[in-house]
């Protein structure tokens, strides 16, 4: 059962990574640093935070607390990344840490407990916590991208007015398995 869940979580992580990348592909360099106001986060700040969280949570995932002593979470929300290239590099290295850690897990870890800020979690709880966290921030990234692009935005899911057609396609297949994301562009 754990392996089935981990495969689903891995698929979901890859989906959220792809949503971020499809957003990035629609942006110019300056767009990564746009902020609605001084109190809001830019895409660059969100990526910097995700990077810090991913490295902290997934480095030595099974043997050390997920809140590493070397992490400085508060600095993740400062304007540290200065170029699109730096943003994309942080994005990739953060996700690489996630995927490398997930590849080490299997059914033998069903009863393994890990710590995050000295709070004990099952593997399932820890992974689920991070899926939710990353989905939350990727949603913010997509929303910022959509605000910046305005009418030029290319939808990442079902376009306005296309729900009926999409549903007809799904129902025409009959009952089937797979991911809800498989038919999205």
Per-residue pLDDT reduced to its tens digit, 100-144: 999 999 999 999 999 999 999 999 999 999 999 999 999 999 999
Yes or no: say if 86 and 97 are a contact pair by the CB < 8 Å rule: no
Which domains occur in the chain, in start order? 2-154 (1.20.120.450), 158-185 (no CATH)
The string of pLDDT tens digits covering residues 159-170 is 888 898 888 888
Q: Residue 177: which pLDDT band, with cuts at 50, 70 and 90?
A: confident
**Residue the block writes with tokens 């994005």:** 91
Q: Residue 184: which pLDDT band, with cuts at 50, 70 and 90?
A: low
> Using CA atoms, how far apart are residues 83 and 33, in angstroms rounded to an integer?
9
Query: Distances from the Cα of 126 to the Cαs of 30, 112, 143, 182, in angstroms?
Result: 35, 11, 26, 25
Segment 1-10 shows an average pLDDT of 94
pLDDT in the model for residue 24: 98
Instruction: Dump the DSSP string for 39-108.
Output: TSPPHHHHHHHHHHHHHHHHTTTTTS-SS-TT--GGGGGSS---SHHHHHHHHHHHHHHHHHHHHT--GG
Q: Where does residue 152 rank: exposed (0-12), middle (13-18), buried (19+ CB within 10 A)?
A: exposed
Contact partners, residue 89, CB within 8 Å, separation at least 6: none
The string of pLDDT tens digits covering residues 54-83 is 999 999 999 999 999 999 999 999 999 999
Nearest partner of 138 among 128, 130, 127, judged by Cα: 130
Nearest partner of 148 among 24, 46, 48, 39, judged by Cα: 24
């Amino acid at each position: 059962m754990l392996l089935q869940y981990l495969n689903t979580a891995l698929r979901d992580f890859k989906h959220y990574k792809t949503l971020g990348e499809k957003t990035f592909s629609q942006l110019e360099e300056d767009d990564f640093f746009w902020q609605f106001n001084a109190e809001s986060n830019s895409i660059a700040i969100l990526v910097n935070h995700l990077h810090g969280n991913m490295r902290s949570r997934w480095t030595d995932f099974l043997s050390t607390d997920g809140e590493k002593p070397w992490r400085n979470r508060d600095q993740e929300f400062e304007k540290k990344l200065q170029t699109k290239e730096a943003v994309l590099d942080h994005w990739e290295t953060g996700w690489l840490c996630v995927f490398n850690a997930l590849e080490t897990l299997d059914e033998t870890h069903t009863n393994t407990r890990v710590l995050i800020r000295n709070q004990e979690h099952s593997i399932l709880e820890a992974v689920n916590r991070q899926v939710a966290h990353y989905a939350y921030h990727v949603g913010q990234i997509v929303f910022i991208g959509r605000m910046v692009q305005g009418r030029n935005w290319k939808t990442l899911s079902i376009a306005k007015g296309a729900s009926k057609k999409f549903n007809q396609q799904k129902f025409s297949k009959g009952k089937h398995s797979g991911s809800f994301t498989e038919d999205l562009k």
